[in-house]
Amino acid sequence: MVGLTSGSFPPAERDQFGVYAMNSKVGFVGLGRMGLSMALNLRKTGHTVIGYDLRAEAVARLRAAGGEGTEDIWSAIGGADVVFTMLPNSAIVQKAVLDEIAPQLGADTIVVDMSTVDPVTTDALAAGLKRRGIKFSDAPVGRLAQHADSGECLFMVGAEPDVFETIRPMLAAMGTTIHHCGGAGTGIRMKIVNNYLAIAACQLNAEALTLATRFGLDLEQTIDVLNGTTATNGHLKTNFPIKVLAGDISPGFQIDLAHKDLGLALSAGASMNVPLAMGSVARECLQLARASGHGGEDFSALLDAWCRLAGLTPPRFKRD
């Protein structure tokens, strides 16, 4: 983030029902693999959306796709009714929101953090913004990058009812499924539970398909069998077939980020005396993949990492 000068902006006007008009201004901070698509989908609903990212190339991609982007965060959040943040980790989110964004916002502005962070960070955001009179919601994102592209994200929202009703139309512009989990902080806690299971399952898929490869089983038939029993899971049905098994390991969700998210779950579990044995092993497996150079690849590429550890050629669907 760049440093900001002091100052604040007046609260945005709302209609008689407390809902922002469709031409409200939205600042979108963080234009990564998912954030970029989400900002573009939000813009399609008629809001004025200005995207910001530290990386000039990310802003350039937004502009090339027809969006409005800036390399000056002031221009993105100045006068915004709602500010969305989609950033990589807890430290960056806390610094960006509390040190750089919040001092520039007027009372009753809403900040919506969609990042996957430590719940302690989310609680600190909620408390810090409340002291300034700024409203807050955590709304982390479920599903994968291709769902962000098509506007089919799932949101797990922690917010007071009035804040939830205000931001719900905006979330609906970026996704198809919205769960109001409770007050601030419940969204990120739900996300951590979701990612814990999803990432551990991805590692199990990698090991199972590596074993099938060693057995010499037909890949297509193996997938059909697994998807026809209780062994099936979302990765086998959605992500693996269009990513690693199709030869595409470009990151929709990086192994590095999956490793980080498992760490969040393990840290939260330890703080509350909840043993998470399977997750601990899965995180070490992801660390092996990272150490062998796969960290920047899609997390379905855990299959490639595991096959190579076993001395096997990673399986791929037959090309027509």
Bridge partners, residue 142, by sequence: 154
Banded pLDDT at 23 (limits 50, 70, 90): low
Question: Are 207 and 172 part of one and the same domain?
Answer: no
Residue 26, pLDDT score: 93
151 and 199 co-located in one domain: no
Helix (H, G, I), strand (E, B) or coil at 199: helix
Residue 304 and residue 247 in contact, taking contact as beta carbons nearer than 8 Å:
no
When pLDDT is cut at 50, 70 and 90, the band that residue 172 belongs to is: very high
Report if residue 205 sits inside a domain.
yes
Over the stretch 222-249, which tens digit does the pLDDT of each residue have?
Answer: 999 999 999 999 999 999 999 999 999 9
Structural domains of the chain, count:
2
pLDDT of 8 reads 32
- pLDDT at position 14, please? 38
Residues 193 and 132 in one domain: no
Domain endpoint, select from 183, 199, 216: 183
Active-site residues, by number, are 191
Residue 2 has pLDDT above 80, yes or no: no
CATH number of the domain to which 103 belongs: 3.40.50.720
Q: Are residues 196 and 172 in the same domain?
A: no
Shared domain check, 270 and 160: no
Q: Let me know if residue 14 belongs to a domain.
A: no
My answer on whether 33 and 165 are in the same domain is yes
Is residue 126 situated within a structural domain?
yes
Final residue in a domain of this structure, among 150, 165, 183: 183
Tens digit of each residue's pLDDT (9 = 90 or more) over 266-303: 999 999 999 999 999 999 999 999 999 999 999 999 99
Measure Cα distances from 87 to 6, 29, 52, 64, 162 in Å.
Answer: 23, 8, 11, 21, 25
Same domain for 225 and 151: no
Q: How far apart are CA 258 and CA 178, in angstroms?
A: 22
CB 65 within 8 A of CB 90: no
Whether residues 40 and 142 share a domain: the answer is yes
CATH number for 227: 1.10.1040.10
Residues 146, 274, single domain; the answer is no
pLDDT for res 19: 40
198 located within any domain: yes
pLDDT band at 108 (very low <50, low <70, confident <90, very high): confident
Q: Residue 255's domain spans which residues?
A: 189-309
User: Is 203 among the domain residues?
Assistant: yes
Residue 20 confidence (pLDDT) above 50: no
Based on the fold, state whether residues 212 and 281 are members of the same structural domain.
Answer: yes
pLDDT at 45: 84
Residue 196 burial (10 A CB sphere; 0-12, 13-18, 19+): buried
The 10 Å Cβ neighbour count of residue 66 is 9
Write down the pTM of the prediction: 0.89
Residue 230 lies in a domain: yes
pLDDT at position 15 over 60: no
Asked if the model's pLDDT at residue 103 lies above 90, the reply is yes
Write the pLDDT tens digit of every residue in 4-14: 322 332 333 33
Structure tokens at 207: 């090991």
Is residue 16 domain-resident?
no
**Residues of the chain above pLDDT 90, percent:** 83
Of 183, 203, 222, which residue is a domain's last?
183
Measured in degrees and rounded to the nearest 5, phi and psi for residue 53 equal -150, 150
User: Is residue 223 in some structural domain?
Assistant: yes
Assess whether 304 and 159 both reside in one domain. Answer: no
Task: Summarize the confidence of residues 90-105 as an average pLDDT.
Answer: 96
Q: Specify whether 196 is located in the same domain as 257.
A: yes
